Structure 1
Amino acid sequence: MVSAPVPSVGPSHKATSPPSLSPPFPAPESPPTPSGCPAAVGASVCPAAAAASNGVRLSVSRGPSNHPDTMYTTLPTSGSPFGPAAARPGLHVWRVEKLRPVEVPERTWGVFFSGDAYLVLHNGPEERAHLHLWMGRDSSQDEQGACALLSTQLNALLGERPVTHREVQGNESDLFMQYFPHGVTYQDGGVASAFKPPRPSTSPGHRLYQVKGRRNIRASERDLAWSSFNTGDCFILDLGETLLVWCGSGCNALERSRAQELAAAIRDSERRGRARLEIVADGEEPPEMLQVLGPKPTLPEGSPEEDAVADQSNARAAVLYKVSDATGHMDLTQVAASSPFSQSLLCSDDCFVLDNGAGGKVYVWKGRKANEQERQAALRVAEEVITRMGHSPRTQVEILPQGHETPLFKQFFTSWK
């Protein structure tokens, strides 16, 4: 068993240049895909995950208990700072002030102070909800820690339904940007600071995915521009009410099929089946596509060699870890060294980290029977993985409660039931 103690994740810990990934994270051979553990069931021990574990462990020590942002701070069981209005449909925005949530008036939605932290909640139809933790680049560790703990209280109030996202200033997710159709504005300083001239964000409210590969086909989010395109791949342009699947003249049949499947999954799971799905051939771009992307330039060609390289990198793109505090520390034990994974590895009694930092995102899957401390630690553990693995600090974090998995998370598994 290789153990790698990690510095405390309390307030005094600040990320520096990441240490060498070996020995803490050697790259062992991928274990065989296990069987025999029912997917996401409430067994006290998950045989498949236990059998797959190859001994690679990340140990996250407890933070000091006298700080508000330690992952083990006890949350009050009554007197939630969020009122019943938080459960109403629609958008809600709170700013963290003196470690408490203060509702932001609707007239100032989209204005964010760089020295503050915010909670943005969207309660959608059919009990779908997304909770975003927006951390200003100049916000204090106390504010960031309080924001994380307040998110656990809000999650509890909403029955652990929301998918939780960590948003980084200047690299917000497109889902977050869609809540603010006129864009977001950054203000210098914090809530008590003088008003400074705004800096508008240019992030759009649409999304673009590239679908690439032959055997290990993967969809990755790309910049919303023609410069992201080539004629050898398929792309999904998500315009909200319309999903355009653009097929390059040189794309392969598997990419075309996978792109249509993913677009249909986005339509059915995120748009209640009401979005229009349209297949677009190279050279037949509709006006709405050109309106978003501008005039189409001459695009570079793709190649089979690039697909082969993508197959190899896609297979190594993600690592799956099991989270446990059974030893008194928050341990991450590697369950599978490369994707695709078997869904049977996910068991309801535990939380799991799917590290796709190479693709710009780290996921935490929360089993419905995982204990409170593991649930509270989800964001901290994801941030520690980002630091220890040397991923960009702009890496996005998505925390998924069991039963509310997104299509982009599911694509890392061989099949999903």
Structure 2
Amino acid sequence: MISDKSPFSQSMLDAGNVYIISNVDAEQIFVWKGKAASVDEKKESMKIASDFIKKEGLSRHAKITVMSQFSETALFKMMFDNWVSLNAQQGLGEVWSINKIAKVAKVDFDASTLHTRPDLAAKHQLPDNGSGTVKIWRVEGSDKALVPRSEYGQFYGGDCYIIFYSYQPRGRQEHIIYYWIGSKATADEVAAVAILTIGTDEEECGGQATQVRVTQNKEPPHMMLLFGGKPMIIHAGGTSRIGGQTAAASTRLFHVRSGFTERCRAIEVEAVCSSLNSNDAFLLVTPNESYAWAGLGASETEKRECKELAQTLGAPAPEDVDEGSETNAFFDLIGGKMTYCNQPRMENETVSPRLFECSDASGNFVIEPVVGEWCQDDLNTDNVMMLDAWSAVYLWIGRESSPNEQSRSQQAAEDYLNSDPSSRDNSTPIYKVQQGSEPMSFKGFFQGWDHHLWAN
């Protein structure tokens, strides 16, 4: 069944089967396992979901969430019309029971149910505040190894991780397993992490956990809350496994940016001046000292987190460097002064940037929004991407995009501006940007921009 609404009813889910339900626009795949489904069906569900992503041509960042019957997430429930949870209290005290008739005692309405409103949890993908218990493993070949608690929140691009989270939102234990895939992890470990996640689910909670596939730099807001208030740190490549560590560079630069939860992500980037961005804060670590560089548009949270980041990395307490007050010695540490993204967003600006994908792969020219937090990997080289930065619109031309996509996207951008209900200025500039030749003003919208991603 395909629909632009929520056409499903809860009665369609049979406890003896496994179902795959997708929201293609949001690149979300849900795998629902009925209580009475066979073991083989449950084991095959992840493979089928992965094959579905390839068949539908979805991004490799598409999120797969696996859950068992009666452990459904709020976001999943929003896919159904009038979902009723097991023993859920309604109105003045009626309790609904699934597939049975029960004698129900009338009780006062419990105001705490407001904290688990599916619409709010779905909007921000926040099942709770992250104060539950966390356990993390690193994938090593076909096995997994516990990560020391002192290293929680640090991830390496050459590794894959399993993050097991337990919490009690409604007086009963619930579980989420995030399995994180580094951008430079080996193909064998990428395959192993999905299998090990299923095994971890069975070992830790009898297969009742919600499983969430996460790729590097696409971490959901809730996952960012699980590290005790510390920033999430993503090291460039390498691995943290014992005996396999990659030696860190003598000079390192971390791009620090906060999300709407006020938790920060720190991504290691190339230690050159062109990596700086006036909208954010950066931590520069050298063999003898460290510096917390604050762009004109950096928030107080980002500035503060630079100091926390230095402490976590075991670097000296950083010296504060405000944009515009840098010394030549500072720039010498990052290869000399050169152009970088130095156009800070205004503090009173309330409109968030939006990214769209323009494609004619289906035979028709269509424009689809890229939902959630996006990164450089979301720029599809087969298509044209449109970035609405409010003060300007960028058309990013992928090298493999078709002539039709390139010509139609220009007119589409003009129509987009003219039809904006907020009465946009029709003189808003439209920039056409070629893949590999992006200006700094464009790169600045993508945290941790990799200047060499498309070099080959």
TM-score of Structure 1 vs Structure 2, range by shorter chain? 0.3 to 0.5
Tell me the TM-score normalised to structure 2 length: 0.33
What's the TM-score, normalizing by structure 1? 0.36
Higher RCO structure (Cα 8 Å, ≥6 apart): 1
The structure with the largest alpha-carbon Rg is 2
